[in-house]
Structure 1
């Protein structure tokens, strides 16, 4: 692996954005940037400021289910790595590199556990063994009944036939590590429905002031 170049940070980096998202990001950058940065006595190149990046993030153009919206501190940590902590200016490649680091990729193991939680309506952290068999054989279509029963023996099955499904999912991936290579999709399209996604923060200027005691 070559030396990391702060002005060419996307070299050897897998971009997680779609082509449409990259176009939208580039169009915003082109409309916002100004020729402010001079490198090696060359002509000024277009850049945005850290404040510009914050304004872009406030537009919420990227779905919260697939993107971690960073704090100001997290932004500055990445800016320091790009030697932009003092200049507070970012090239288009640097902006895309930073945003790409905050993308969230669906994890199959996590999404499977969420799927079992959908059936666990009483929030007991376990399901009946027959429910597990139906879910795995009907919805997963990965293992047949005999393979499922074999893996259930390794799961934490209580005497009454209940299965602690998080341990069961772990046993699935232990026996079939190739599952990690399967491309996953999000179970919940809406992040507000997903119990594993923190609620969106309320801006300080929109928070209600505490009520005064009426005495």
Structure 2
């Protein structure tokens, strides 16, 4: 039985992944942004533990975690949480750049730093659920894509740095997935949302589980997954 800490488990990919891990008997710790969200997650994911910390304030993560009980062993840290606000460079204010960089890049870096001591002991696994935008930036996606390109760089550097501690690092690059975030993106794009056109969160969760369950003699470093052809 392994212990996993997951961000972004309140909905979408993270929620499905947490449920799948709980169903197979693993321990799951979920990070929630506030007490209200934590209460809802406990109801939705019976058996999961919750810690409260706001990823939009990376500089306060250390303080927040120090006030709560974390497991002595963590086998995987899975970064799923993210925010997106679209807009052309000419129109996007600094506040939206700062928010997306904080949640999508700086917070994963800081949370990883804080948990590395226990991950080293367990020879654990860090999984960054990135995005197709982490490989290519399209018009209107500058801030989000910049945060995801940075997340890829973070993963690559971390993998090289932690190899001596046998910590595995994986980047998953999902294409469009039928999640509440995708519905929000379509609203921002002014497009109709049809969930049937996209991958399900279950499919992406299966991809993450494949990386987590790979035997110790190998690791998936980078994996892109796209919607099937209909």
TM-score (structure 1 length as normaliser): 0.21
Determine which structure has the larger strand proportion and give its number: 2
Mark the structure with the bigger radius of gyration. 1
TM-score (structure 2 length as normaliser): 0.21
